[in-house]
Structure 1
Amino acid sequence: MGTKNLALVVGSYDDTAAASDDYQALRSGQDAGGYEIVGAVVLVRDTDGKVQVHEHGDKTVGHGAAWGAGAGVVVGLFAPPLLAATAVGAGIGALLGKIKKSRDEKQFGVDVDEYLAPGTSAVVAVVDDKWADRVEKALDRADKRISKAIDSDDYDKLREAIEKSADDVVEQINS
């Protein structure tokens, strides 16, 4: 993965149903061969600010092995504090500290309050940057969209930390 140039593509929605519809359209576009998605999730933030992570538009993730590297990496690249609030594990915590420093230096991730304000949803995807424009256009119901370059080294390190911490995450959730 380290040789790819990656992009984070985010669409923000006032309507959760529109976010789910665009997520399904995004997956259909991939299935039709229009582009390739490394990982994608739908994030839903209630009016109290609590965030739920959905994969496949309707399946909540964050419990057991379903959390996995895919959803965790996408969330961590979008907004490291959201991953920190959802996942546990020393490896993830230490890496998120480094990513936060990196974010401050490189404008890593996006502004959560702008793209996932309370009472809104977002579709967040990680793609090879050659597909970023197509993926961004696929989110046609979004109120606003953004595409940002991702350091592939950050992606690889975060994915590895989440994979190594998966057992810790499951144990913490089940305790």
Structure 2
Amino acid sequence: MPKTESVFVYIGTYPDEETARSDYQIVKELHSAGAVGNYDAAVVTKDTHGKVHVNKDETATRHGAWGGAAAGAVVGLLFPPAMLASAAVGAAVGGVGGHLWRGMSRADVKEFGELIDTGEAALVIVGEDKLEQAVTKAALKADRHVAKQLDVSPEEVDDAVRAAAAQV
């Protein structure tokens, strides 16, 4: 059965964490309005020691079946474990990251990683393909951004998240 939907990844960089959080709030409002389906998002920052922090709030991780695993898996694919400030991000990479990795080329991974390195903060959004149109219309305030549709279906991510949750 051919895939009719795909997963969309958006990474935008910002001059500061506050501006990234402002766009994060816009994405949450789009979800509340029914403009996007399942998605996961996180604000990513680096501290003065080069450690990468994935910042999520208590309600933002509950947007459908993905339960906070998809954005963490993307960050886990982009940075070596030694750079991650939280082992929880590394745990999300497992099966979820495997599905997302198969949907990305090496050039995509390099482009995403280099983009995050350029800003003080980043917003990482992973969602169903209808998220792409909503994010474009919302005119987020990122200094730079990269957006890609991956060759992986939302159902594959759903299954990987459920499998990861069963192992916890």
Give TM class, smaller chain.
Answer: 0.5 to 0.7
Question: Quick one: structure 1 residues 158 and 6, their matched pair in 2 at CA, closer, same or farther if it must change by over 3 Å?
Answer: closer
Which of residues 65, 68, 73 is equivalent to 1:71? 68
Distance (whole Å) between structure 2 residues aligned to residue 135 and residue 166 of structure 1:
28
Q: What is the SS of the residue equivalent to 1:24? A: helix
Q: Residues 100-119 of structure 1: CA distance to partner in whole angstroms, max 9, x if unpaired?
A: 576445x4446344322276
The corresponding residue for 2:50 is 49
Provide structure 2 residue ranges, at least 5 long, that are not aligned to the other structure: none
Distance (whole Å) between structure 2 residues aligned to residue 51 and residue 60 of structure 1:
19
Counterpart residue type for residue 92 of structure 1 = G
Question: Quick one: structure 1 residues 81 and 150, their matched pair in 2 at CA, closer, same or farther if it must change by over 3 Å?
Answer: same
**Aligned partners of 2:99 and 2:157 also within 8 Å:** no
Residue 92 (str. 1) matches residue 117 (str. 2):
no
Query: What is the number of equivalent residue pairs in this alignment?
Result: 157
- The percent of aligned pairs where both chains have the same amino acid is 24
Distance (whole Å) between structure 2 residues aligned to residue 9 and residue 102 of structure 1:
14
**Aligned partners of 1:46 and 1:120 also within 8 Å:** no
Question: Quick one: structure 1 residues 88 and 5, their matched pair in 2 at CA, closer, same or farther if it must change by over 3 Å?
Answer: closer
Q: TM-score, normalised by structure 2?
A: 0.67
Alignment of 1:23-172 (within 5 A): 23-33=24-34, 35-39=35-39, 40-56=41-57, 69-77=66-74, 80-82=77-79, 86-88=89-91, 92=94, 96=97, 100=101, 103-104=104-105, 107-109=107-109, 111-117=111-117, 120-138=120-138, 140-153=140-153, 156-157=155-156, 159-166=158-165
Alpha-carbon shift at residue 141 of structure 1 (Å): 2.0
Distance (whole Å) between structure 1 residues aligned to residue 136 and residue 5 of structure 2:
18
Q: What is the SS of the residue equivalent to 2:68? A: helix
Distance (whole Å) between structure 2 residues aligned to residue 137 and residue 3 of structure 1:
22
Distance (whole Å) between structure 1 residues aligned to residue 72 and residue 45 of structure 2:
12
Alpha-carbon shift at residue 162 of structure 1 (Å): 4.4
Distance (whole Å) between structure 2 residues aligned to residue 143 and residue 20 of structure 1:
14
Provide structure 1 residue ranges, at least 5 long, that are not aligned to the other structure: 62-67, 171-175
Question: Quick one: structure 1 residues 28 and 158, their matched pair in 2 at CA, closer, same or farther if it must change by over 3 Å?
Answer: closer
Alpha-carbon shift at residue 24 of structure 1 (Å): 0.7
